[in-house]
Structures are given as C-alpha cells and as structure tokens.
Amino acid sequence: MAISEQKKGRVIFHIDMNCFYASVEMAYNPNLKGKPLAIAGNPEERKGIIVTSSYEARAKGVKTTMTIWQARKLCPELIIMKPNFERYRLASKEIFKMLAEITPYVQPVSIDEGYMDVTDTKGLGNPLEIAQNLQQRILNELDIPCSIGIGPNKFLAKMASDMKKPLGITVLRKRELAQTLWPLPVGQMYGIGEKTAEKLNTIHVETIGDLAKSDVYELKQLLGINGERLKNRANGIDSRPVDPDAIYEFKSIGSSQTLPDDTTDWNEINSLMLQLADNVERRMKRKNAAGRSVQITIRYHDRKTITRSRKLQTYIDQKSDILFIANELLEQHWNQEPIRLLGITVQDVEEKQQLGQQLDLFTYEKEAKKEKLYAVIDDLAEKYGKNLFKQWEENDKKDNAQPRTSFQKDFLDDYKK
C-alpha cells in the first residue's frame, strides 16, 4: 500500500529538525555547542547570505537571508561556516531510516522535515510514547534535536511542530483549536505568506480564528480556490494522506540563487544564468529526466517577483537548450531594474524511460558528445568571470552536487537505499 488509508482517527506526526544545518555541525564538532553559529553561502565575503543559524545566534537577532555583515553587526562573536551538503544529506538519510523503522508511511518533504502516519503501529506504545522515544533516539544516536507535532491530519501536525522548539512535542486536537490555534495571527498559519496575510487583513481577517469563521464566498473572491482551502485548514480540515511515493512525483526541477547585491550588470547576470542552467542539468541527469517547458523567476530589488515560461515542442535536458530558452525569456521580460534573485526551472518533467518515442535518442547521443565542450566553457567562466558566488568543494561539481543554499527534493528517497 503506497498511501496511508483515509480513515477516521488518524494519528499523524510532523517531524521537524531544529536548526538542522547548524545542529549537524554541532554534532560533528561539540565545541560549537552553546555558541552562536551561522551557516552562510559565502563566509569569506561580507556580502554572503545566512542560510541558517543556531538558537544562540537567533537570540542575538541573526536571521536567514541576512547578509554576513548585518549578522556580525548584531552578533560580533558569530561563528560562520560554509555548508557541508554531503554531511547534511547523510544525517537526513539516517533520520528518515529511523522513521521508516516505525511505519512504512513516511513522506519526506525536505531534507529536515517529513510526515509519518502512525495510526496502525502496534506494540510501540501510544502516540506520545512513540514520539518521545523517536525524539530521544535521534538525539542519542545523531546528537540532533527535533520537534514533533502530533495531530489528526498533516496540517495540524505541521502547525503543532512549530509551537515548541527546540525538542518540543506538541499535540494539536480539533476540539482544542479555539484555544490553541485560532488566537494566533493569520500570518503564522502554514500556507499563508506575507502577501496573503496582507490581503486577508484588508477584509478584517487578523487571526486564524477570523479565517475559520470567514465567508467562503468572500475568501474565494479574494484568493480564488485557495481561499476555501485555507478556511478548511483553519477549521482543522485536511484530508491529504501521508504518501511515501510523493517524493517520486516531481514535475519540475529548478535552481535559484540570490545575488550578493541587486544588479543590472549583464556580465554578473549572465554568469549566474550559466550556473543555474548547469545546476538544473545536473539534477535532471540524476533523475534521468527531461522536460518540455522552461520557466524563469526574477525577483527585483523591491522584492517584486515575476515568473515567465515557455512550452516547447520537444523534451530537453541539456544545459545549452535550457540556457538558450531561459536567456530568451530573460531578455523578453526583464524590465532592466536591479535584480535580487534569479531562478531557472524546467517543468513538465518526465523520466526518460516513460517518454518512449517522444524522445529523439539520436539528439541525446549527439548532445552527450558536447559535454567536454561544456566543461571547458564552465572552466573558463570560473577562471575569468567575476567571482560572485562561493564555489563549494570540487566534489560538489559532480553529478551529486548540491545547491548552494537549499535542497531540491530529488534525493529524498536516499534513505530507502
């Protein structure tokens, strides 16, 4: 059975690793414990971006996406390290193995969080005992703290795991929503971002309770079909099953990067586009996949973000093709204002073995011969291009290379291997 059954009285866990990157580094080097630690995209440069930080650093005001110089101004004693993605992947793999020993219904959603359906676990104690034992095992064996939310569905379990950190275990029941969930600001609800919260505020929806009691027609007028979905969530309604196979349902593969400075310099932008296309190609090769739609994301200096895409006649998986389409989209839709972030995503992705006759195998064979040329181009770009971004260890340039500040989901089945 691939999906946990939809039944009454389900018991769902949401497992959330606390300050995961920083916690892993502390597990490898206990001397870091109790100290303000940040993982940053480019520790050697003041303009590097903070990826995550320890609770000690957060207590001093250090936040994700903050530049290093801003963080050091708030916390002069801050210890800054570059990410070790292979180390984080290994830790994640071991954690999800532990979860899978309890139930086959485990759904990873990122490197440091996932869902479990423990409804039918027998002989392991009640849900609270299972959560306590799991939390303690991860801490004892890996020295990594986690918080666990327990609820009758995925949404409530997710909200519960955020309520007590670090090392929290929180139960969120439907009958308690009026006391526990509804008084919270609507912006604290999972699935509601800053812009959506601002829209809801315009119709006097300030708290999650306000949302739960709002008129569904008015919500749909404001937010479309998402309005009704959010109202249901606020009332504790969520029928989504825990699906272990969801990790295989990738329809897009992408890469994005924040620039150290907002820029209009075409050389800097072009260099980043090359790197993004290279990242996407590597991830597609790892999944043995191809796609037939290319999308770019542009975030401007004022945080305004646009996405533009183009549907293709044939499937592609090569960097040169991805980059060509992405650059055309950029030239057509960039308004020449300073850019803060760029992203390239290949959509409508399928595994090659599923495509059958849709793929021109001769084209792929011909393009494969160009790999040496691509490698030379990359080497020249690195050698002579402007050094905007920290290059990770040489191993990260291979097919198992990881993104600089976030993880794609195409490795989340590693714990099954």
At residue 136, the 3 state secondary structure works out as helix
Residue 113 appears among annotated catalytic residues: yes
DSSP annotation of 128 reads H
Contact status, residue 253 vs residue 410, Cβ threshold 8 Å: yes
d(CA 368, CA 290): 14
Q: What is the CA radius of gyration of the chain?
A: 23
Contact status, residue 237 vs residue 402, Cβ threshold 8 Å: no
Count of C-beta atoms within a 10 Å radius of residue 73: 13
d(CA 366, CA 370): 7
DSSP annotation of 242 reads P
Instruction: Report the candidate in 411, 398, 400, 393 with the shortest Cα–Cα distance to residue 82.
Output: 393
d(CA 194, CA 192): 7
d(CA 111, CA 20): 9
**Three-point CA angle 31, 392, 373, nearest 5°:** 165
For strand 339-351 and strand 289-300, is the pairing parallel, antiparallel, or unpaired?
A: antiparallel
Amino acid at 71: A
d(CA 22, CA 11): 30
Catalytic position from the list 56, 113, 281, 350: 113
Is 16 annotated as belonging to a binding site? yes
Contact status, residue 213 vs residue 203, Cβ threshold 8 Å: no
Is 112 annotated as belonging to a binding site? yes
Q: Which two tokens stand for residue 377?
A: 């181009």
Reported residue count of the chain is: 417
Beta-bridged to residue 298, according to DSSP, are 306, 342
Count of C-beta atoms within a 10 Å radius of residue 99: 22
d(CA 277, CA 374): 11
Residues at the binding site are 16, 112
Residues at the binding site for Mg(2+) are 16, 112
Active site residues: 113
